[in-house]
Amino acid sequence: MKLEREEEEQIKKQEEQIIRQEEAAKRAYLEAENEKTRRIIEEQKRREEEQRKRMEAIELEKLRKQKEEEERRKRVEEEEEERRRRRALEEEEKRRRAIEEEEAKRKKKLVEAAATATEAEKKKKQENELSRVINEANSNKPFSTDGALKEQEFYINIYKRIKDNLSKKADLKSQSYEVRKTIRLKLNVLTNKREEIVKIATEIDKILKQHSNSLLYYYLLNFLAKDMRRHAEIDVMSNEAAAFPLAQVCVLITSQHSEFINFVIVRLIRKCFYILPRYFVPENGKSIEDYKKFVGYRNSENDESYIQRMCAYVAFYCAIAQTDSIIPNVKNPYYVDHIWKYIARLMNMRQIKITPYLLYTCLKITAYEIHRAFGDTAFNLFAVIYDSYIANPPPEIQMLSSTSPSAMSRLKTLLEEASERGGKFNQPEGKFPS
C-alpha cells in the first residue's frame, strides 16, 4: 500500500509538472504572438508615418506651385494693368489734341447750324446754349491742367478697383445690412456740436475696426463715403454750414483709416468732376441734351439747380480741406494746401459759366483757413484773384458778368469786403462746432 501511494504521488507530480510545462509553453507562445503583433503594429505605424510625410511633402509642393502660379498671375495682371494705363494715357492725350485741333471746325459747324436753324424756341435755346459753351471754350487756356488729369487717373484707378473688388460682391451687401443701417442712422443725426461729432466719429471708427481684417472693411469705407456724399447733396445744398460737421467726421475717420479720404474723393468726383477741377465741351454731332447728361445734369434739371448741386459737392470738399481737427494732436491728413492748388488750377483754366460759382464757394469756405495756415503769403493768392476778377479782368472774365451775373456779383462783394479789411476774409459760419 505504501508503494502504491508513493507511485500515485509520483505520477501526480509528473502530471503537475507536465501541466506547468504546458502552461509555460502557452505563455511563451502568447508572448511570442504578442511580440509579433506589436512588431506588426509598429511596422504599420512606421509605414503610415512615412505615408503621411510623403503626403505632406506632396501638399507642400502643391502649395509652392500654387503660390508660384499666383505670383506669376499677379505679375501678368500688373503688367496688363500697366499696359492698359499707358494706353489710356495715350488715348487721353490723343483726345486732348483732337479737341484742340477740332475746336475751330466744331465752332464753325455749330455757328452754321445755328444760322440755318428754323426750329421752335426750344431748339433756338439749345443752339444758344451750345454757342455759350463754345464761346467759353474759345480761349487759349486749357479745359484742365496736367495735375488735375493725373489726379483723375489716380482716382479712376481706385474706382476701378472698388468696382471690381466690391461692387460685384453681392454677399457683402447682405452681410453688412445691419452695419450700414447703423452708420447711416448715426450720420442722419449729426449736428455741429463738438461732443456729438466726436461721439459719432468714434462709434463709426469702432465699427470699421471690427472688420479691419476683411474685405467687408473696404465695402464699409466705400458705403460711408457714398453716404457722406449723399448728405453733401441733401444737407449742404440747403444749408452750406452743414458741410463743416460732416467734414469734421470725415477728417477724424481719415486720421484712423488713411484710405478713407480716397474713397470720399472718388465718390465726389463720380458726381462732380469740378472737384479736380475739369471742364468738358460737347463732342461733334452731340446734342445739348447729350452734353448735359455727360456732365451730370439730371432729367429736367435746369442750370440753376445743377450749379447749386455741384457747388454743394465742392463745398463739402473744401470744408474737408480747411478742417482743423477738434481733437488735440489729431492732424488733418488732407489739409488746406490742396485748396491752394485747387484755386491755382481754376485760375489757370478756361473761365466758363460755372467758374465764378466754384471760386466763390471755395473762397467763402476756405479763405479764412488759408490765411491762418499760410499767413501773409496768402495775400499773394488773394491779390491775383482780386486783380483777375475785379481790378483788371480780361475779356473772358468780363463775359462772365452776362453768363453768371449772380455769382460774379457775390464774388465781387466777397473780394471787395476782404480788400477793405486788408485782404482778410471772415470766418465762415459753422466752421467751429459749439
CATH fold for the domain made of 142-350: 1.25.40
The runs of H, that is alpha helices, within 116-193 are: 121-137, 146-162, 170-175, 177-188
Q: What is the pLDDT of residue 271?
A: 95
Q: What is the pLDDT of residue 130?
A: 47
Tens of each residue's pLDDT in the chain, 434 residues? 677 777 777 888 887 788 888 788 788 888 878 888 888 888 888 888 888 888 878 878 887 888 888 788 888 878 887 888 888 777 777 777 777 777 666 666 655 655 555 555 555 555 455 455 545 444 456 778 889 999 999 999 999 998 888 877 778 888 899 999 999 999 999 999 999 999 999 999 999 999 988 899 999 999 999 999 999 999 999 999 999 999 999 999 999 999 999 999 999 999 999 999 999 877 776 788 888 998 999 998 999 999 999 999 999 999 999 999 999 889 999 999 999 999 999 999 989 999 999 999 999 999 999 999 999 999 999 999 999 998 999 888 989 988 999 999 999 999 999 999 988 999 999 999 98
Report the C-alpha gap between 411 and 397 in whole angstroms.
12
Report the C-alpha gap between 182 and 433 in whole angstroms.
23
Q: What is the pLDDT of residue 220?
A: 96
- Give the 3-state secondary structure of the chain: CHHHHHHHHHHHHHHHHHHHHHHHHHHHHHHHHHHHHHHHHHHHHHHHHHHHHHHHHHHHHHHHHHHHHHHHHHHHHHHHHHHHHHHHHHHHHHHHHHHHHHHHHHHHHHHHHHHCCCCCHHHHHHHHHHHHHHHHHCCCCCCCCHHHHHHHHHHHHHHHHHHHHHHCCHHHHHHCHHHHHHHHHHHHCCCCCHHHHHHHHHHHHHHHHHCCCCHHHHHHHHHHHHHHHHHHHHHHHHCHHHHHHHHHHHHHHHHHCCCHHHHHHHHHHHHCHHHCCCCCCCCCCCCHHHHHHHCCCCCCCCHHHHHHHHHHHHHHHHHHHHCCCCCCCCCCCCCCHHHHHHHHHHHHCCCCCCHHHHHHHHHHHHHHHHHHHHHHHHHHHHHHHHHHHHHCCCHHHHCHHHHCHHHHHHHHHHHHHHHHCCCCCCCCCCCCCC
Q: What is the pLDDT of residue 79?
A: 81
Question: Residue type at 132?
Answer: R
Report the C-alpha gap between 147 and 134 in whole angstroms.
24
Q: Where are the domains of the chain?
A: 109-138, 142-350
Task: List b or e across 208-220, with b for residues whose CB sees 16 or more CB atoms inside 10 angstroms.
Answer: beebeeeebbbbb
Contact 370, 339 (CB under 8 A): yes
Contact 320, 370 (CB under 8 A): no
Cell matching residue 381: 493768392
Contact 429, 396 (CB under 8 A): no
pTM over 0.85: no
